[in-house]
Amino acid sequence: MTITKTHHYSTPRRIAKWFALPVLLLTRPAFAQEKAPANAVPDPRPAHAYGHSALGGAFDDIAREKAYLMRGMPKIVFPITTTSREAQRFFEQGVGQLHGYWYLEAQRSFRKVVALDPQCAMGYWGIAMTRFGNDSLVKDTLTLAMRHLNRVSAREKVWLQSVYDFHTAGSKMPDREKTRKANYLRELHSLVDQYPDDIEAKAFLAHALLDWRNAEPNQTRETTDALMKQVLAVNPSHPIHHYRIHLWDSSVEDRKKALDSAGLCGLSGVGIAHLWHMQGHIFSGIRQYREAVFAQEAAVRVDNHYLMTDKLIPDQIHNYAHNSQWLTENLGYIGRVHDAIELAKNMIELPRHPRYNNVESFSGSAYYGHLRLIETLYNHELWQEVATLNAQGYLEEGKTPAQKAERLQLLAIASFGMENTTAGQQYLNELEALREAKPDNAELAKSIAEVRGYKALYAKDTAEAKKQFASAKSMPKCRSARVNLALGEMVEAEKLAREAMSQDDNQVERFATLIEVLYRVGKRDEAKTYFQKLRKAASDADIEAPLLVKMAPIAKEFGYPTDWRIKAVDTAEHQQLMARLGSFRWEPSTAPNITLQDSNLRKVNLSDYRKQGKPLVVVFYLGNGCEHCMTQLSAFVPLAAEFEKAGISLVAVNSEGQQGMPKLMSNLGAKPVFPFPTLADASKRSFKAFRAYDDFEKTPLHGLFLIDGAGKVRWQEIRFEPFQDVKFLLTEAKRLLARPAPLAENAQKQGQTEQSL
What pLDDT does 26 receive?
37
Across the range 224-228, mean pLDDT stands at 97
Count the helix, strand and coil residues of the chain and give each as a percent rounded to the nearest 5: 55, 5, 35
| β strands within 587-732, DSSP E | 595-598, 603-605, 616-621, 649-654, 678-680, 693-694, 699-700, 702-707, 713-719
Residue 647 has pLDDT above 80, yes or no: yes
Residue 16 has pLDDT above 80, yes or no: no
What pLDDT does 314 receive?
94
Could you give the C-alpha distances from 605 to 594, 598, 611, in angstroms and in order? 6, 10, 10
What pLDDT does 662 receive?
67
What pLDDT does 746 receive?
54
What pLDDT does 509 receive?
98
User: How many C-beta atoms surround the C-beta of residue 541 within 10 A?
Assistant: 28
Residue 38 has pLDDT above 90, yes or no: no
Residue 224 has pLDDT above 90, yes or no: yes
Domain boundaries, the chain: 595-737
What pLDDT does 757 receive?
25
Query: In CATH, what is the architecture of 595-737?
Result: 3-Layer(aba) Sandwich (3.40)
Q: What confidence tens digit (pLDDT) does each residue in 75-95 have?
A: 999 999 999 999 999 999 999
Listed residue (132, 36, 254, 659) closest to 262, CA to CA: 254
What pLDDT does 672 receive?
59
Reduce the DSSP state of residue 568 to 3 states and report it: coil
Reduce the DSSP state of residue 704 to 3 states and report it: strand
What pLDDT does 198 receive?
96
Q: What confidence tens digit (pLDDT) does each residue in 109-161 have?
A: 999 999 999 999 999 999 999 999 999 999 999 999 999 999 999 999 999 99
Q: What confidence tens digit (pLDDT) does each residue in 155-188 have?
A: 999 999 999 999 999 988 889 999 999 999 999 9
Lowest mean pLDDT, pick from 270-279, 356-365, 668-677: 668-677
Band (pLDDT 50/70/90 cuts) for residue 214 is: confident
Report how far residue 255's alpha carbon sits from residue 248's, in angstroms, rounded to the nearest whole number.
5
Q: What confidence tens digit (pLDDT) does each residue in 348-405 have?
A: 999 999 999 988 888 899 999 999 999 999 999 999 999 999 999 999 998 888 999 9
Alpha-helical segments (H) within 421-489: 421-437, 442-458, 462-472, 477-486
Residue 439 has pLDDT above 90, yes or no: no
pTM: 0.89
Which of the given ranges, 130-134, 658-662, 753-757, has the highest pLDDT on average? 130-134
Residue 315 has pLDDT above 80, yes or no: yes
Q: What is the mean pLDDT of the chain?
A: 90
